[in-house]
């Protein structure tokens, strides 16, 4: 069936795909043969769906090297079967030892959560970020500039999502079984392409108290 300009779009993307596959084969003839056999990623990346924050490109890794879950504003919800399934597969099947929650400054999801306008269905998802805002409101409100407040909430959101990863049954069980597994919180700047470590790192449940203390989190566990 003739699809007019939609055919053009498809042809353009297929052409790009072919050129990319040829380029990959050109630099490494066995690349796809190896990938076809198995994937062996060492990292699970939980990031934002924003088109500017592609995990593989940010850390310059090839396909097969990083396992990725992305959603709006890199939120880890305790009952989100999609995210939980990714974490379980990453940890229990792929034996990944590093989970990285990576947010980004200028996150549209975080901004929308701060503004309180109506966006429809997505508002239910953004409630999770509003919970983060409420938990850190005192500290955020100390900043006079609205934009600074917004960027700080982007950071706080990463920190809270790291904690949420730590409290999943999957991570808790792994730690109980002495599995080597660490959770990291990073943030990316679209302005200059540079990652920043938010100095939140958890590799054992005993470390959580100190993490709450360091990052001003009230947690009743």
**Interface ranges with Co ion (CB under 5 A):** 48, 50, 107, 109
Measured from the CB of residue 152, what is the shortest distance to Co ion in angstroms? 15
| CB of 107 or CB of 187, closer to Co ion | 107
| CB of 48 or CB of 66, closer to Co ion | 48
| CB of 48 or CB of 202, closer to Co ion | 48
* Residue 86 backbone phi and psi in degrees, to 5: -65, -45
Measured from the CB of residue 154, what is the shortest distance to Co ion in angstroms? 8
| CB of 72 or CB of 200, closer to Co ion | 72
- Give the long-range contacts of residues 150-156, CB within 8 A, separation 24 or more: 150/110, 150/111, 150/114, 151/105, 151/106, 153/110, 153/113, 153/114, 153/129, 154/103, 154/104, 154/105, 154/106, 154/107, 154/110, 154/187, 155/103, 155/187, 155/198, 156/132
Enumerate the active-site residues: 48, 50, 52, 104, 107
Measured from the CB of residue 109, what is the shortest distance to Co ion in angstroms? 5
Measured from the CB of residue 158, what is the shortest distance to Co ion in angstroms? 11
Classify residue 216 as left (phi > 0), alpha (psi -120 to 50) or beta: left
> 217 burial class (0-12, 13-18, 19+ CB within 10 angstroms)?
middle
- What are 183's strand-pairing partners? 99, 202
What is the maximum span of the chain, computed from C-alpha positions, in angstroms?
Answer: 62
């Amino acid at each position: 069936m003739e699809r007019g300009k939609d055919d053009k779009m498809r042809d353009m993307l297929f052409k790009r795909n072919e050129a990319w596959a040829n380029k990959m084969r050109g630099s490494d003839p066995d690349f796809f043969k190896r990938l076809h056999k198995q994937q062996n990623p060492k990292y699970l990346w939980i990031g934002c769906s924003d088109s500017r924050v592609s995990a593989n490109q940010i850390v310059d890794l090839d396909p097969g090297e990083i396992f990725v879950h992305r959603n709006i504003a890199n939120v880890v919800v305790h009952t989100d079967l999609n995210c939980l399934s990714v974490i379980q597969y990453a940890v229990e099947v792929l034996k990944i030892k590093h989970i990285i929650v990576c947010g980004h400054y200028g996150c549209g999801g975080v901004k929308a959560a701060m503004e309180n306008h109506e966006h429809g269905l997505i508002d239910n998802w953004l409630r999770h970020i509003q919970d983060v805002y409420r938990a850190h409101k005192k500290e955020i409100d100390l900043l006079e500039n609205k934009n600074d407040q917004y960027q700080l909430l982007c950071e706080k959101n990463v920190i809270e999502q790291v904690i949420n990863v730590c409290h999943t049954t999957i991570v808790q069980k792994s730690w109980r079984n002495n599995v080597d597994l660490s959770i990291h919180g990073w943030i990316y700047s679209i302005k200059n392409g540079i990652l920043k470590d938010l100095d939140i790192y958890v590799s054992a449940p005993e470390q959580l108290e100190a993490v709450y203390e360091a990052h001003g989190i009230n947690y009743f566990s």
